[in-house]
Amino acid sequence: GVGEGLVQMQQMKKSCAVLSGRYCTDRVLEKDYKLLDKVLGTGMSGPVHLAEGKSDGRKYAVKSFKKSGLSLKNRQELKNEAELYLQLDHPHIAQLSRVYETDKVLHLVMEHMEGGELCSRLLGRGRYTEEAAAGAAYQMLLAVAYLHAPANQIAHRDLKLENFLYERKDTNVLKLIDFGFAKFWDPSTRM
- 75 lies in the same domain as 126: no
| Residue range(s) defining the domain that contains residue 98 | 2-111
Inter-residue contact 51 to 59 (CB < 8 Å)? yes
pLDDT at 20 (0 to 100): 63
Tell which phi-psi region holds residue 153, choosing left (phi > 0), alpha (psi between -120 and 50) or beta.
left
Residues assigned a catalytic role: 158
- 126 lies in the same domain as 156: yes
- 138 lies in the same domain as 92: no
Phi, psi at 114, each rounded to 5° = -85, -15
Residues in the chain: 191
Report the pLDDT averaged over residues 6-14. 48
- 105 lies in the same domain as 133: no
- Read off the pLDDT of residues 67-80 as tens digits, 9 standing for 90 and up: 998 899 988 888 88
pTM for the model stands at 0.83
- 106 lies in the same domain as 38: yes
Domain membership flag for residue 190: no
Give the Cβ contact number of residue 135 at 10 Å. Answer: 15
pLDDT at 28 over 80: yes
